[in-house]
Amino acid sequence: MASRSRPPADPASRRASAIARHLRPRPTPTPLPWSPLEPLPCLQYSPPESSAKAAAFDVAEMRRLMDGHDVEARDWAYGVIAESPLFWSPTRGPGGRPFLVPDYNQSMEQQREMILRRIVYLVGRGVFNGWLTGVGKEAEMRRFALLESIGLFDHSINVKIGVHFFLWGLSIRFLGTKRHHEKWLKDSEDYLVKGCFAMTELGHGSNVRGIETVATYDSTTGEFIINTPCESAQKYWIGGAAKHAMHTVIFAQLYMEGKNQGVHAFVAQIRNTDGNVCANIRIADCGHKIGLNGVDNGRIWFDNLRVPRENLLNSVSDVLLDGRYRFAAFLAPLTIGRVNILTNAVYTSKVALAIAIRYSLTRRAFSITNDGPEVLLLDYPSHQRRLLPLVAKTCAMSFAANHMKRMYVQRTPELNKAIHVYSSAFKATFTWHNMRTLQECREACGGQGIKTENRVGMQGDYDVQSTFEGDNHVLMQQVSKSLLAEYIAALKRNKPLRAFGLEHMNNPCPSIPDNLSSSAVRGSQFQMDVFYLRERDLLSRLAKEVSKYQGRGESKEYAAILSYQVAEELGKAFAERVTLQTILEAEMTALDGQLKDILGLLRCMYALISIEEDSSFLRYGYLSPSNAATVRKEVENLLSELRPQALAIVDSFGIPPAFLSPLAFDWIATNSWSSVQQ
């Protein structure tokens, strides 16, 4: 073995030896047996339009059908918002125009001030003209359209506007009389008076009859004295109360000569014109929330607050100067809040789906072959399964929401109960759908879904929809109780059912054959029959279950509480049946054959995915296992049929590019180094 020379002993010699080794020329490297790797070409963004098939239907006409009304007013509102730098994001979109993105990265205080400035701007542009003083169905439908358009930008501004105009303003209009209208309506419409709505308390939300705030009448001064008798009676989550509202409608138990006359509404000033809180009132901020931080929610306590007798909103009851009490009838609940929530949930779902679908038509992942191109996300069946059923559901819910709005503007005392039932069912169903859609779109966009500017993962802003204006579970049980009451009354009278669309129960019970073909399960006859069958069976089951508990000695009220599972299943069945009817009606009345075809595909997907996702169809035997397998197979077939038209469908949502997000367009350029420098 060859001997190795020893390293020099002293430090100086060792350093000299090391330097010499570095200076020796290196030997020529042996050639590699393979060629060096070639760098892969950089990814290039291609807009979804470059690869998508041409629309097989008239996109503009489809939008008119789904928006349902006031398309021109919506476009005008979009333009008003896009013109103002108050709404602009630093990020630029198509044509160099800025995206319109809320202030998610700003402090709570900054968000609140920006929301106020934007509302003042919209007032100046005339957006709210006629919102409180206008009359007629056309004015009401236009108001719905404008609020939906504003809501596409930000839920905080939508909620703050809704509290002021719909809760405060329409309380004055509907619960008040001429003296209240003359004093507050026009100034509220012009935003000179900023109002809020003090109903919810720390201890009571959905149960309005149980609120603890007390109003007593002092006949010697002609005033009501309003008090917060305990901490659980403090008014809570009152939008606008923490900072900007000057007036409020207070809901309190009215006591006359020691007798409780029930909940009444009173107008009170809570801040002076200089912004200071009025005497005998305490206000605290609800603080930072998981979302909606542009809304200044507050808490209010009343300490012997004296309110003039004239400030009682007296359209249905009044107190005369000498203290005599007159009562006519209490109006139906202000259901317009729920109508606004359910329509906003549909449009929010549209925004998220439009962004996620556009991204999935430009983002690629993995190759099927070693040297093949990466595959578009939406070409994966699993990705289609995640998004396309939600698209179909959202389209169907658009028609149901329009049905709800038309019902509301045509309201009569006889329709009040139906409006309450339909709006409760839709509010619960559509807001749950919205939360699921936001989460699925967030996940479908991967890590990009986490960025707030991409607008697909903002569940915190919308989570409140599930509980405000009524907890969704409570609303579903109210729906079922109303259906049950109608059913039992019809049985007792031995007369046909005539309410809530239950007339189908007057007909023979549908029979579903065990082995249906694919074409049969796609047919509207089967779909309506199986939805009818589910609803009538669940209603019968609920009646039997409540009766069973009553037979064991439970009260009717507690028996209904114990039957909550069937009650919620029935509420869902009711909402889905009505929704299916509305999209089927749109399909049947469409004059254009191509529109009828795409509506048929969407209706079919809505019906079949609803069947597949609801275990009650198998649990209670509405479908045989064979039919359930056929339904599942047809859902997969429908995915491949809807895939080529996915872009056209979300384009028909009519959302301007600026209201989407960078993720819906050139996301590579948006994230480039040059964009950072700009």
| Band of pLDDT at residue 93, cut at 50, 70 and 90 | confident
Which residues, including other chains, have CB under 8 Å from residue 311's CB and lie 6 or more apart? 224, 266, 267, 268
Q: Is residue 206 part of a domain?
A: yes
Q: Is residue 58 part of a domain?
A: no
Q: Indicate whether 429 and 524 sit together in one domain.
A: yes
DSSP state of 280: T
Q: What pLDDT is recorded for position 457?
A: 85
Predicted confidence (pLDDT) per residue in 500-518, tens digit: 999 999 999 999 999 999 9
Q: Is the pLDDT of residue 671 over 60?
A: yes
Q: Indicate whether 485 and 625 sit together in one domain.
A: yes
Q: What pLDDT is recorded for position 41?
A: 75
Q: What pLDDT is recorded for position 6?
A: 59
Q: Indicate whether 425 and 442 sit together in one domain.
A: yes
Q: Is the pLDDT of residue 488 over 70?
A: yes
Q: What pLDDT is recorded for position 333?
A: 42
CB atoms within 10 A of CB 365: 12
Q: Indicate whether 163 and 219 sit together in one domain.
A: no
Are 563 and 476 in contact, with CB atoms under 8 Å apart? no
Q: What pLDDT is recorded for position 57?
A: 97
Q: Is residue 119 part of a domain?
A: yes
Which class for 143: exposed (0-12), middle (13-18), buried (19 or more C-beta within 10 A)?
buried
Q: Which helix (H) or strand (E) holds 546?
A: helix 524-551
- DSSP per-residue letters across 95-122: GGPEEE---TTS-HHHHHHHHHHHHHHH
The reply, when asked if residue 200 is annotated as ligand binding, is yes
Q: Indicate whether 238 and 311 sit together in one domain.
A: yes
Q: Of 397, 361, 392, 446, which is closest to residue 644 (Cα–Cα)?
A: 361
Predicted confidence (pLDDT) per residue in 357-387, tens digit: 999 999 999 999 888 889 999 999 999 999 9
Mean pLDDT score, 134-142: 96
Q: Is the pLDDT of residue 327 over 70?
A: no
Mean pLDDT score, 628-652: 98
Q: Is residue 426 part of a domain?
A: yes
| Band of pLDDT at residue 495, cut at 50, 70 and 90 | very high
Q: What pLDDT is recorded for position 372?
A: 86
Note down the domain range covering 561. Answer: 335-364+372-465+472-658
Domain count within the chain? 3
CATH of the domain at 286: 2.40.110.10
Domain boundary among 280, 313, 331: 331
Q: Indicate whether 443 and 348 sit together in one domain.
A: yes
Percent of the chain with pLDDT over 70: 92
Q: Indicate whether 572 and 612 sit together in one domain.
A: yes
Q: Indicate whether 534 and 395 sit together in one domain.
A: yes
| Band of pLDDT at residue 236, cut at 50, 70 and 90 | very high
Q: What pLDDT is recorded for position 25?
A: 63
Q: What pLDDT is recorded for position 47?
A: 93
Would you mind telling me the total number of residues written for the chain in this entry?
678
Q: Indicate whether 308 and 408 sit together in one domain.
A: no
Q: Which residues are catalytic?
A: 469
Q: Is the pLDDT of residue 14 over 70?
A: no
As a whole number, the mean pLDDT across the chain is 92
Rg, Å, the chain Cα set: 31
Predicted confidence (pLDDT) per residue in 424-441, tens digit: 999 999 999 999 999 999
Q: Which residue has the tokens 């069946």?
A: 381
CATH of the domain at 427: 1.20.140.10
Q: What pLDDT is recorded for position 330?
A: 47
Q: Indicate whether 325 and 395 sit together in one domain.
A: no
Q: Indicate whether 169 and 256 sit together in one domain.
A: no
Q: Is residue 287 part of a domain?
A: yes
Q: Is residue 487 part of a domain?
A: yes
Q: Is residue 133 part of a domain?
A: yes
**Amino acid found at 398:** S
Cα torsion 159, 165, 170, 172: sign: positive
Task: Output the six-digit token pair for 593.
Answer: 């054959």
DSSP state of 182: I
Least confident of 283-292, 319-328, 637-646: 319-328
Q: Indicate whether 133 and 254 sit together in one domain.
A: no
User: Model's pTM, two decimal places?
Assistant: 0.92
Predicted confidence (pLDDT) per residue in 30-54, tens digit: 655 555 556 667 888 999 998 888 9
Q: What pLDDT is recorded for position 452?
A: 92
Q: Which helix (H) or strand (E) holds 90?
A: strand 88-92
Are 111 and 103 in contact, with CB atoms under 8 Å apart? yes
Q: Is residue 43 part of a domain?
A: no
